[in-house]
Structure 1
Amino acid sequence: MTIDLDPYDPALTEPSVWDAYAAARAAGPVARSGRRGGFWVLTGYDDVRAVLRDPQTFSSASGHRIPTDGTQRSIPIDYDPPRHTAYRRLMGPPLSTARVRQMRPFLERTIADLVGGFAARGSGDFVREVALPLPLAVLTELVGFAPDTVDRFREVTEEVWSGLGADGEAVDFAGAFRRISELMAAELDAHRAHGADDFVTTLLSAEVGEEERISILATFAVAGHETTMNAASTLVALLLEDPARQDRLRADPSLARGFVEEMLRHRSPAQNFARRATCPVTVAGQAVEEGDAVLLSFAAANRDPARFADPDRFDPGRDVSGHLGFGWGIHMCPGAALARAELTILLTTLVGHPPLRLAGEVRWSGLQGGNHLGPTTLPVRFEG
């Protein structure tokens, strides 16, 4: 069955994106889109997870975005073992559970300051006031980026996304990422000149080339702020949809972790990742040829009714174990522990302030880079 799905279509936003995934699921567990050179679309939970667990058959080395033409080379996600394994090992220490525990006092202070200052002002755009500055502050502490560097992350990232799929069928990966690469190169040069006890300095002594260092830092820069910003804003948007949700959290802040996990399932801030078949294979009864591109829709899989009952309903009390909000297998998001900590602390901090109410229209992004989805504007006010 064929479908007309283009992950860069600006019409794929909230709430229409969920209709597109539902249509893809209705077409069958493996549907074919002719866009962007053609690719298979997987929407079933079991099928998506099975592919994620088989990196030998479904390679990331041609790129994790459609089209999988080999022009994108983000470390570590666009690599297969053994290079992928080596890169993950190099990038692991700043994101380890031990490091996240060590950072918890910093996270609590940072979030308390951001939310407290926002509450004192009474109203504003949650994205700009809290959701964006939070991960940027964390990156200065976690990686060692200079404040001037992180101040430019959002501007440069928006330029990156605007260059992906902006001109019909053309996707200029190299051009889109040029600016952020320049920014990372400057950060490395600054650390060479002045030094510091941080991850960037550690990276300078690692046995990798300069382009690899730049790519590693670019991954921290983009993934480290984009996904957390979208997740935090989406979480608050869900609270604003139904005031009873805030009441539940206010009565029992220990429920915050369940709200975070259900948001990751229900709204999936990172929605689609591509692979390329390395040999002929059958997926859910469909023959997939060697070299075929396959789009794994984490967002659709997280709403598969065969895995999650009544999947379109937000239910923070449900069992969401095994959700794909952070992926699965060797490419599972290395920052999952940090993101969970940030989001849980954010929720428990917010409910210690007056209730939040919507103060205008919520605007959502399209699928940035064919993947990232979240509010771009979230006007709120504190009651009382």
Structure 2
Amino acid sequence: MSDTVRLTRHADVVSAAKDAQSFSSRTSRHLHVPNGMDGDEHRAFRALVDRQMTPTIVDDLQPLFDEVARAIVAALPLDVSFDAVGDLGEAYAVRAQCRWLGWPVEVEDELREWMARNYAAARQPDATVNARIAADFDALVKRQVTAHRVARGRGLPITPDATHRLLDERVHDRALTDDEIVSILRNWTAGDLGSLARCVGVVVHRLAERPRWQQRMRELARGIRSGGSDAVAGRRELDAILGECLRIDDPFVANKRVTTCPVTTQSGVEIPQGAPVLLDWTAANVDPDVFSDRFDPQAHAAANLVFGIGPHVCPGRDLSYAELRAVVIALLEGSEMIEPARDQHPTRFEAPLGGWATVPVVLR
């Protein structure tokens, strides 16, 4: 097999991400719906996933995310350091995810334990260990799917949660198989839990280190909560700031592809057919040919690749912003100032993960 080719230039990454014919997403023998699919198969399943995250659904979920975020923040100590990744980001990600999926609160501890095991496995990859961790997670998901099916069979009231909606979906004029349902839920859950926690860490770290931007976010948060005429514009600006924080310190490191034919990228990288390729989002998002070294949310928004681009662009982009917006606003409302903790230093995740592993901060 050819050596892995890592694309780091913004133009190369964008071109490859948009060219699903030359850069296939079928990089695993395991079922990944829809991420590991190409062509018509991907389009059919992607349309199904998109139906679960429409603007209307996301808007309806915002009050739920706000409620969860306020409860998590209210439990944080004042004037005492805590970890913005573990104590805030992970706790919020797990609870918010369980609520919108319709999973019981008892699953929260199990999910956090799984996250810790998954992080450890990522640092020291072992095929046997990774397979066991993946199997354990699939078993957890299957239990939730079974519980939802049992509730339907007993004629119990059906709540409008994401798992029930998925059970009602059809593709190619047929119901989804259990393996397809589990794959979609695995993608939503396993993919979102750690990434949302790391996003919280990235944003809180920057706000704690940059009081001027923290103050601007506080002003925007007040305007959004007031619901006045400037609320829409305020939310748009706040989301742009969140996006710029994530662009500069992108926690979504890379995605895999494999070439279906020989390719020469715009920067002149020659890639043979059948070569494994990594689209390095982190490097592309700080490409000096595209981005200045300034923190500039408006100027950099159009080229920001945090959520990808092309046919495999993240379908949960709006959902992620809604979740992140809720927890950041709750944190700002629950404090007068977010400060770095004295005598404690943030630590980075080790490759292949991105972002901060710990971010000690203090709320005043």
TM-score by length of 1: 0.80
- Structure 1: state its 5+ residue gaps: 1-35, 63-69
Q: Which moved more, 1:100-109 or 1:151-160?
A: 151-160
Query: Pairwise mapping of residues 341-360 of structure 1 onto structure 2 (< 5 A)?
Result: 341-352=322-333, 353-359=335-341, 360=344
Determine if the alignment matches structure 1 residue 218 to structure 2 residue 186.
yes
Matched, 1:366 2:323: no
Q: Does the 8 Å CA contact 1:256/1:347 hold for their aligned counterparts? A: no
- Note closer, same or farther for the CA distance 1:164–1:172 as it changes in structure 2 (3 Å cut): farther
**Residue pair 1:100, 1:337 contacting (<8 A) in 2 also:** yes
Deviation at 1:217, TM superposition (A): 1.3
Counterpart for residue 7 of structure 1: none
1:175-202 CA-to-partner distances (Å, cap 9, x unmatched) read 4411111111111222222244333234
- Pick from 114, 121, 135: which aligns with 1:156? 114
Q: Which has the higher contact order (CA 8 A, sep 6+)?
A: 2
Match of 1:290 among 250, 256, 273: 273
- 1:240 Cα deviation from its structure 2 partner: 1.8
Match of 2:62 in 1: 104
Structure-2 change in CA distance of 1:213 and 1:137 (3 Å): same
Cα deviation code 1:146-186 (max 9, x no counterpart) = 22223312322332344457258x68754441111111111
Matched pairs, number: 335
Q: Does 1:79 align with 2:37?
A: yes
The answer for the alignment partner of 1:51 in structure 2 is 16
Partner residue, 2:250: 268
Query: Aligned residues: percent identity?
Result: 27
Q: What SS does the aligned partner of 1:334 have?
A: coil
CA shift for structure 1 position 260: 0.3
Q: 1:58 to 1:165 in 2, by over 3 A?
A: farther
Q: Helix, strand or coil: the match of 1:331?
A: coil
Cα gap change, 1:59/1:112 in structure 2, threshold over 3 Å: closer, same or farther? same
The structure-2 alpha-carbon separation of the partners of 1:349 and 1:200, relative to structure 1 and needing over 3 Å to count, comes to closer
Match in the other structure for 2:302: 321
| Letter in structure 1 aligned against 2:162 | F
CA distance in 2, matches of 1:55, 1:274: 12
Measured after TM superposition, the shift of residue 380 of structure 1 is: 1.7
Check the 8 A contact 1:94/1:142 in 2, yes or no. no
1:182 aligned to which of 123, 130, 139? 139
Task: Give 1:263 shift.
Answer: 1.2
Note closer, same or farther for the CA distance 1:47–1:193 as it changes in structure 2 (3 Å cut). same
Match of 1:201 among 144, 164, 189: 164
- Cα offset, 1:112, TM superposition: 2.1
If the length of structure 2 is used for normalisation, what is the TM-score? 0.84
Letter in structure 2 aligned against 1:139: Q
The residue number in structure 2 matching 1:378 is 359
Once the two structures are superposed, what CA deviation does each residue of 1:101-159 show, in whole Å capped at 9, x if it has no partner?
11122222222222233255854222233211222222223222222223312322332
CA distance in structure 2 between the partners assigned to 1:286 and 1:334 by the alignment:
29
Work out whether 1:339 is the aligned partner of 2:320. Answer: yes
Secondary structure of the residue that 1:304 maps to in structure 2?
coil
CA shift in 2, pair 1:320/1:160, >3 Å? same
Unaligned 5+ segments in structure 2 are: 153-157, 170-174, 222-233
d(CA) in 1 for partners of 2:73, 2:115: 24
1:307 CA displacement: 0.7
* Aligned residue identity for 1:154: R
Give, in whole Å, the separation in 1 of the partners of 2:129 and 2:253: 21
The structure with the greater share of residues assigned to helix is 2
2:240 aligned residue (258, 272, 282): 258
